[in-house]
Amino acid sequence: MKCNPELVSAFLDGELDDVILEAVIKHLMECEDCCQTLSHLAQVRDAITDQVTVSDPEAMTQSIMMAIQNERILPVKHTLHDRLMRVAAPVARAAAALSPMKTP
Ligand SMILES: [Zn+2]
């Protein structure tokens, strides 16, 4: 997929369906620009409570992949929102950690 800030924003809001969600996550893992967008949006929305000190893009990828795997293993009794938050939260945290625009 191409860069799409609206999809990144929707991702953060948990508004994407499963197919688009996977495409966006894949894109985020490959696209620095969209990671920056995600990070910026997350900060603007104050979605991040803790600033983690991960400075390793690989850690970000791993947290994304773990979130996806956890989501797949779990039974489907969770709502879509729950599952999206499970994926979005570590991504947002990792994106924030990678952002050079930290605010104290
Ligand atoms: Zn992009």
Q: Give the model's confidence band at 47: pLDDT under 50 very low, under 70 low, under 90 confident, else very high.
A: very low
pLDDT tens per residue, range 58-96: 776 777 777 766 665 554 455 656 666 666 776 777 777
Q: Is residue 103 part of a domain?
A: no
84 lies in some domain: yes
Q: Is residue 42 assigned to a domain? A: yes
Q: What is the pTM of this model?
A: 0.46
User: How many A from CA of 75 to the centre of ligand 1?
Assistant: 31
**Number of domains the chain is built from:** 1
How far does the centroid of ligand 1 lie from the alpha carbon of residue 7, in Å? 10
State the residue range of the domain holding 46.
5-98
* Residue 91 to residue 89: CA distance in whole angstroms: 5
What spacing in Å lies between the alpha carbon of 72 and ligand 1's midpoint?
Answer: 25
Domain assignment present for 104: no
Query: Is residue 22 domain-resident?
Result: yes
Considering the domain boundaries, does residue 9 fall inside one? yes
CA of 8 to the centre of ligand 1 (A): 9
In a domain, 85, yes or no: yes
pLDDT digits (tens, 9 = 90+) for 15-45: 898 899 989 988 988 999 998 888 888 777 6
Instruction: Look up residue 5 and give its two tokens.
Output: 């800030």
Residue 24 and residue 40: Cα distance in Å, rounded?
A: 16
Domain assignment of residue 23, yes or no: yes
Q: What is the pLDDT of residue 40?
A: 81
Predicted pLDDT of residue 81: 63
- Please count the other Cβ atoms lying within 10 Å of the Cβ belonging to residue 97: 21
